Amino acid sequence: MDTAGSYPSRRGEDFSEELAGKGWYHSFALPDGTVIQGYNRLEVLNERYARLPIPRSLAGRRVLDIGAWDGWFSFEAERNGAGVTAVDCVEVANFHTIHRALSSRVEYRILDFYDLPQSGLGPYDFVFFLGVLYHLKHPLLALEIVCALTTDTAIVESFVTDADTWREHSDEIPAMEFYETDELGNQLDNWIGPSVGCLLAMCRAAGFARVELLYARRHHAGVACHRTWEPLPEDAKQEPPELIAVSNTRTFGINFFTRKEEYVSCWFRTSMGAVARDELRLEIAGFGIRALYVKRQTDDTWMANFRLPPGLRPGWNEVRLRLAQSHFGSSHRIAVDIPLHVRQLVVKGVRDGTTWSDEGIRVDGAKAVLSCWVHGLPENADRANVYTRLGEAILGIEYVGEPDAQGLRQINATVSTSVASGVHPLIVECGGVKSDPWPVSVAGGDTVPNCIERNQ
Ligand SMILES: C[S@@+](CC[C@H](N)C(=O)[O-])C[C@H]1O[C@@H](n2cnc3c(N)ncnc32)[C@H](O)[C@@H]1O
């Protein structure tokens, strides 16, 4: 059954007539004494700005105002010292009028929201995302884009469905309404109505470390979304956790790509008897990121998963972990958006990874491991971008070691019991470059033939 358009209209104000009458969305008090009365009264605008958890002086700070409309928030941030960029998808004549009247230096860009990541703009200390979210069909993607543009705090204000009642059902799974046509406020570009809980959950899921409800009233809620953890505890009551390993949850490697849906797994040791997800304070390149999952592995070892924080720069990024009441432990690093550059790969030696014999690999029913030493692997070589083949068999890589003094890196790979006895060429491949074959003898039983030969 096609029910399009048959839903009841959603609450929410249709202010189009009042707005048309006034001609201005925002009100302004200009230095020459002129007062412009817009749909949003000055007292309300001043009150909204005053409750933003940003410094009163924004000297030296950068602000992005997304969906600026007449620009009151842009000009107010500039008045407080910020370097401001205002963005809107439509060019608003009123904005230019005020810009001229104030001799403003606010940079005004006519840009659709979804063009922001490719615009070359940012990052910004503070991002105002006020009254725009519900105009976008892809709210979580939108919040991720906002997060990636923010280094300190983003302010998200949105239409919500339960501003005055959200506490009554705050223990329920978050929900969001979807408006297929003009159900909300008679406007065709009103797409979504999250509950307060859903708005907060989406801000957290987008990648912000701390998310704080500023207000919820009538049909709107405001949220401060911080990219960093709260300051370190002055009197740390917990020992810092020992970060043992960090890897890509999917590939087990150290490489991450920001355009992919990727998660970070961390193994750590702590003297705490129990660790709750909300106690974990992971930081990558200075951005805090919340844990999605934590599980005890052994008595003192734990594993936790996190999403990759949006907005990481290409290169090596530092990862460190603390608990709510501890300082940070030692750090690891991950490779973000680093291409693989390989010129030449040379295998320098092969051993049986179990017996350590250099005379061949024994495949006798138990798990067989081949260890080899390779020259030429790039710094960001890992389990997911190095491939080894023994004859026709693709070997599963278990470990790629750090370079030794000669620049050789050890690779451990499992050899399946289905590999036939005999001599097979070992080829290592990375970044599209292959090594010359190294002959490896495989024996299926107790007798290990002495037949490793170098062909160079
Ligand atoms: C409800 S007004 C909010 C104005 C102002 N930020 C405030 O809170 O007072 C929404 C603004 O977002 C802009 N907008 C809506 N969709 C947009 C998009 N896809 N890209 C950029 N701006 C958009 C509209 O043109 C309008 O200026």
DSSP string, 416-446: -TTSPSEEEEEEEEETTEEPPPEEEEEESSS
Query: Which residues share a beta bridge with 134?
Result: none
Smallest CA-to-CA distance from 375 within 417, 420, 407, 398 is with 407
Angstrom distance (rounded) from CA 387 to CA 364: 23
Residues 398, 383 contacting (CB under 8 angstroms): yes
Q: Which amino acid is at 426?
A: L
CA distances from 211 to 113, 200, 409, 451 (A): 22, 7, 43, 64
Query: CB of 12 closer than 6 A to ligand 1?
Result: no
Residues 319, 336 contacting (CB under 8 angstroms): no
Nearest CA to ligand 1 atom 5: 68
Angstrom distance (rounded) from CA 32 to CA 101: 9
Query: Which residues share a beta bridge with 216?
Result: 221
Q: Rounded to the nearest whole angstrom, what is the distance from the C-alpha of residue 413 to the centroid of ligand 1?
A: 54
Nearest CA to ligand 1 atom 1: 131
Count Cβ atoms below 10 Å from residue 66 Cβ, excluding itself: 27
The structural architecture, per CATH, of the domain 16-226 is: 3-Layer(aba) Sandwich (3.40)
- Select from 3.40.50.880, 2.60.40.10, 3.90.1150.10, 3.90.550.10 the CATH code of 346-443: 2.60.40.10
- pLDDT score for 19: 85
The structural architecture, per CATH, of the domain 242-336 is: Sandwich (2.60)
Q: How many CA atoms lie within 13 A of 343 on its CB side?
A: 2
Query: CB of 90 closer than 6 A to ligand 1?
Result: yes
Q: Rounded to the nearest whole angstrom, what is the distance from the C-alpha of residue 59 to the centroid of ligand 1?
A: 26
CA distances from 403 to 206, 376, 409 (A): 36, 10, 5
Nearest CA to ligand 1 atom 3: 131
Q: Which value, to the nearest 10 degrees, does the dihedral of the CA atoms of residues 215, 216, 221, 224 take?
A: 30
Query: CB of 127 closer than 6 A to ligand 1?
Result: no
Tally of residues, the chain: 456
- Over residues 143-160, the mean pLDDT reads 97
Query: CB of 45 closer than 6 A to ligand 1?
Result: no
How does the average pLDDT of the chain come out, rounded? 93
Query: CB of 393 closer than 6 A to ligand 1?
Result: no
Residue 303, class by beta-carbon neighbours within 10 Å (0-12 exposed, 13-18 middle, 19+ buried)?
middle
Query: CB of 332 closer than 6 A to ligand 1?
Result: no
Contacts of residue 173, Cβ cutoff 8 Å, sequence gap at least 6:
none
**Tokens in use for 347?**
């295998």
Q: Rounded to the nearest whole angstrom, what is the distance from the C-alpha of residue 148 to the centroid of ligand 1?
A: 19
Q: Is the pLDDT of residue 299 over 70?
A: yes
Q: Is the dihedral angle over the CA atoms 386, 390, 396, 397 positive or is it negative?
A: negative
| pLDDT tens by residue, 183-226 | 777 777 888 999 999 999 999 999 999 999 999 998 999 999 99
Q: Rounded to the nearest whole angstrom, what is the distance from the C-alpha of residue 129 to the centroid of ligand 1?
A: 9
Name the pairing type of β-strands 35-36 and 422-430.
unpaired
Angstrom distance (rounded) from CA 78 to CA 68: 13
- Over residues 125-150, the mean pLDDT reads 97
Domain ranges in the chain? 16-226, 242-336, 346-443
Q: Rounded to the nearest whole angstrom, what is the distance from the C-alpha of residue 316 to the centroid of ligand 1?
A: 36
Mutate to test the pocket of ligand 1, among 41, 49, 88 (most ligand atoms within 8 A of CB): 88
Q: Is the pLDDT of residue 446 over 60?
A: no
| pLDDT confidence band for 417 (50 / 70 / 90) | confident
- Over residues 442-450, the mean pLDDT reads 60
Angstrom distance (rounded) from CA 230 to CA 240: 16
Query: CB of 135 closer than 6 A to ligand 1?
Result: yes
Contacts of residue 344, Cβ cutoff 8 Å, sequence gap at least 6:
376, 433
Smallest CA-to-CA distance from 386 within 398, 370, 403 is with 398
| pLDDT tens by residue, 360-375 | 999 876 789 999 999 9
Q: Is the pLDDT of residue 359 over 60?
A: yes
Distance spanning both ends of the chain, measured CA to CA: 73
| pLDDT tens by residue, 317-358 | 999 999 999 999 999 999 999 999 999 999 999 999 999 999
Mutate to test the pocket of ligand 1, among 14, 40, 75, 132 (most ligand atoms within 8 A of CB): 132
Query: CB of 89 closer than 6 A to ligand 1?
Result: yes
- pLDDT score for 3: 52
Higher pLDDT, 383 or 448: 383
Percent of the chain with pLDDT over 70: 94
Smallest CA-to-CA distance from 334 within 352, 347, 349, 315 is with 315
- pLDDT score for 137: 95
Q: Which amino acid is at 29?
A: A
Residues 442, 361 contacting (CB under 8 angstroms): yes
Query: CB of 113 closer than 6 A to ligand 1?
Result: yes
Kindly state the DSSP code that residue 186 receives in the 8-state scheme: T
Contacts of residue 26, Cβ cutoff 8 Å, sequence gap at least 6:
38, 39, 40, 45, 69, 70, 71, 72, 94
Angstrom distance (rounded) from CA 224 to CA 50: 13
Higher pLDDT, 454 or 104: 104
Query: CB of 130 closer than 6 A to ligand 1?
Result: yes
Smallest CA-to-CA distance from 325 within 280, 267, 269 is with 280
- Over residues 54-76, the mean pLDDT reads 98
SS3 percent helix, strand, coil of the chain, rounded to 5, is 15, 35, 50
Residues 321, 303 contacting (CB under 8 angstroms): no
Tell me if domain 242-336 and domain 346-443 are identical in fold.
yes
Query: CB of 95 closer than 6 A to ligand 1?
Result: no
| pLDDT confidence band for 180 (50 / 70 / 90) | confident
Contacts of residue 11, Cβ cutoff 8 Å, sequence gap at least 6:
219
Q: Rounded to the nearest whole angstrom, what is the distance from the C-alpha of residue 208 to the centroid of ligand 1?
A: 22
- Which numbered atom of ligand 1 lies nearest the CA of 113? 20
